Amino acid sequence: MTTSYPELPKVKGNFLTYISLENAVHLLLSLTSECTARAVFGIMYAEARKVDNNFKSAGHYNYSGVQTDSGRWGYSEPIKARFEKKDVSGKLREFAAFKDDAGFFDFMINRIEKKGFNGCDPNQWTNTYIQSWWSPAKKSEYKPGTEKFRQKKDIYLSAMKRFDAFKKTYKGKTQNAGFKIGGWFIPLLAIAAIFIILDE
């Protein structure tokens, strides 16, 4: 079996994990902005197996089939081990193992932001998912207006209905967009206020 992470230990792939859709929404909202949270949740909804109201991982908190046999990821720190398992086509592949749900979300948030997903825009999310995440051989043919594009967008819209329902039960604080300067996190509104003051 080919691996892109020979330095990581190999573990058994029968350690299955679950996270409820509601807890996934709540954890994502506590870790990142709402648009990024929606983008990650949309991918999970499209790719993870669902059992009742839970996402079921392929193993070891891997809810989106993150593989470790086809090249190294741009952000690998959350990947703690690797395991072998057959994919949906029946081919034996190697997958990433994460420490916990938070580790998986840390990885996904980083990748989703780097790929430019906007989970608040259905068409942009769908196009980015097809072209940069799912990335099938015929992706150039799956443009807006095609049947395949509509199918993937419908999955996103179904995911957002669930997201909105579970967002209502979230009692925590959602992360805001902003910049880190010298170790300080400055919200965008605060930056705007600073520029207004300087301009006066």
Q: What does the alpha-carbon distance between residue 121 and residue 102 come to, in Å, rounded to a whole number?
A: 25
Phi, psi torsion values for 99, nearest 5 degrees: -70, -40
Tokens of 155: 């999955």
Q: What does the alpha-carbon distance between residue 128 and residue 115 come to, in Å, rounded to a whole number?
A: 8
Tell me what pLDDT residue 121 has.
98
**What stretches in the chain show pLDDT beneath 70?**
175-200
Closest CA to 129 of 143, 117, 120: 117
Between CA 6 and CA 63, with CA 88 as vertex, the angle to 5 degrees is 65
Tell me what pLDDT residue 185 has.
39
> H or E element: which one contains 161?
helix 147-167
Global confidence as pTM = 0.84
Q: Which residues of 112-127 are buried (b: 16+ CB within 10 A; e: fewer)?
A: bbeeebbbeebeebbb
Tokens of 101: 């749900």
pLDDT digits (tens, 9 = 90+) for 50-71: 999 999 999 999 999 999 999 9
Tell me what pLDDT residue 180 has.
34
Closest CA to 130 of 119, 121, 118, 141: 141
pLDDT digits (tens, 9 = 90+) for 159-193: 999 999 999 999 987 765 443 333 333 444 444 44
95 and 58 Cβ atoms separated by less than 8 Å: yes
